[in-house]
Amino acid sequence: MNKKMKVMIGFIVVIICVAFVVIIWVVISSFTSDTNKAEKVFNEDRELLETVTYYLESIDHENMYFYKTMPVDGIEDKSVSEAVVLLFNRGYDAIGKSGNTIFFLRWTRLKDFGAGFAYSINKKYKPTMEYLLKLEPLSVNGWYYYEAN
């Protein structure tokens, strides 16, 4: 075998090893619950989430939505509008209130999947959302991790 062939084989072996390590890492990381990962993010953002939640609980509107792509207008309380902007800067895409549920869309995959945090205004009932796939309670009463299509 000539030197060029040996280098080529070595290069292919390295690529296969790197691919193998990446696949193993993905498999191992998938064993960690999404709820556990979400709990960590929730605890990091909890103060901002609660600031916005208290505001949305107190308004008379049955439905209200804020989107990352739209300016945050109509919030007179500066601490709330700043919290909304900070959440959007931390990766949230939408915040809303619909009936008994306040939601914070944090993760999206592809076009139709979304996950985040949901809060139940009336603790007797769980949050409700369209196309809900998963709803897991977090460590704080009334808060849930959700996944929806």
Residue 66 has φ and ψ, to the nearest 5°, of: -125, 135
Q: For 111-125, what is each residue's pLDDT tens digit? A: 778 899 999 999 888
Inter-helix orientation angle 34-58/78-89, to 10°:
160
Band of residue 32 on the pLDDT scale cut at 50, 70, 90: very low
pTM of the predicted structure, to 2 decimals: 0.76
* Average pLDDT along the chain: 86
- Compute CA distances 57 → 35, 100, 103, whole Å: 24, 9, 12
Q: For 92-118, what is each residue's pLDDT tens digit? A: 999 999 999 999 999 887 777 889 999
3-state helix, strand and coil shares in percent for the chain, rounded to the nearest 5: 45, 25, 30
> Do the Cβ atoms of 144 and 138 come closer than 8 Å?
yes
